Homo-oligomer: A and B are copies of this chain.
Amino acid sequence: MSSPLRVVSFGLGPIGLAAARLALQKTSIQLVGAIDIDAGKIGRDLGELLELGKKTGVIVEGDAEKALKRLQPDVMLHCTSSFMPMVKDQLLLAARCGVDVVSSTEELLVPEFQHAALAKELDAAAKAGGVSLLGTGVNPGYAMDFIAVVASAVTFDVQAVKCTRVVDAGTRRLPLQKKVGAGLTRSEFQQQMATGRFGHIGMRESVALLAKALAFKLDKIEQTVEPVIAAEDHKTAFLTVKEGQVAGIRNHGYGYIGKRPVLHLDLSMYVGAPDPRDEVVLESTPPIHLKFHGGIAGDQATAAILVNNLHGIVAAQPGLRTVLDVAPPRLCR
């Protein structure tokens, strides 16, 4: 075993904290720093934020540039925002400081899809700095896209892809339950949807990743989001959804060739959703029907895949990379 990777956590929201907690448990990783903009977190020991009952010696800092320059880590574990324009300066900073990045930013999954110019700028900066940048996660990044890509490896051709993900939001953390609107009325749900920061983020990126990976020349990518209304009362550890209230969302993503939806992603995330699972069906030769029974546990899995990509991104060639061109993710110890 070579010496541990030196990692800095940037962004200490729920996912960032879960990833940092996991990183602290890895012998092949040394968490050497933590960064957040929240004044309520700056100056506190990470062990306190994680309620570990002991200090880690890692004190949260507010000045990312100062921290990166002083610590000179190998990699940044980056969980600050879903949107590329909001993380641009953070990634450019990492590139300038020679620090590789594994990021939970959903839009980075297919960087050129929504932000072609910015993707080029980041790629150039990464190459200039000799660093690799990667956006990944479970959804998008794995359950409804990457797994189907890997499944395609054993086929002659693929005519269509259907991915189904069913998550019982009642078993998940409170932010997820709120993100899917559990307990809202229909009209509250519609108001929240209008903000664009609600529901699942990254459905169109998943469709775009599949199209890119499997060389589907799509004419159009679309999505629909609807509330799922509770047919009976459901009580979670955090809240109660009453009959007639919103239990969560049903989110479809489609990639069309002409009028045919060759890519169809079907995501249900609601309190009480039955038969949680992740399922991939390839209309292919030979046909593929793949299923994660019980589903891939979202919060834990997201922290895991971020941490499990840290070694891979250090080995990758410089540039703005995607999950299609770095080594396959796998457990690190």
Contact = CB atoms under 8 A, between A and B. Distances in A.
Interface of A: 22, 25, 138, 142, 146-147, 149-150, 152-158, 213-215, 284-294, 296-297, 300-301, 303-305, 308-309, 315, 317, 323-333
Given A324-B330, A328-B149, A333-B157, A286 B315 contact: no
Contacts of A303: 156
A304 B150 contact: no
Given A138-B154, A290-B293, A327 B327 contact: yes
Nearest to A332: B215
12 contacts: A22-B156, A146-B328, A152-B331, A153-B308, A153-B331, A157-B331, A213-B331, A215-B333, A284-B331, A290-B293, A291-B293, A323-B328
Contacts of A290: 290-293
Given A290-B291, A290-B293, A291-B291, A153 B324 contact: no
A291 B281 CA distance: 12
Contact of A153 (B156, B297, B304): B304
Contacts of A158: 331
Given A325-B315, A330-B213, A330-B214, A154 B304 contact: yes
A154 B296 contact: yes
A19 B291 CA distance: 27
Contacts of A291: 290-291, 293
A152 B330 contact: yes
Nearest to A282: B331
A25 to B, nearest CB: 7
Nearest to A152: B331
Contacts of A326: 327
A155 B293 contact: no
Contacts of A142: 153-154
Contact of A286 (B150, B293, B297, B333): B297
Contacts of A297: 154, 286
A284 B152 CA distance: 26
Most central of A284, A323, A328, A332 by chain B CB within 10 Å: A328
Nearest to A278: B290
A300 B294 CA distance: 29
A331 to B, nearest CB: 4
Contacts of A333: 157, 214-215
Given A286-B297, A289-B292, A327 B330 contact: no
Contacts of A329: 150, 153
A327 B328 CA distance: 6
Contacts of A214: 330-331, 333
Contacts of A289: 292-294
Given A150-B150, A154-B304, A286-B296, 10 more contacts: A149-B328, A153-B330, A154-B308, A155-B301, A213-B331, A215-B332, A289-B292, A315-B325, A324-B330, A327-B328
Contact of A325 (B154, B294, B327): B327
Contacts of A328: 146, 149-150, 153, 323-324, 327-328
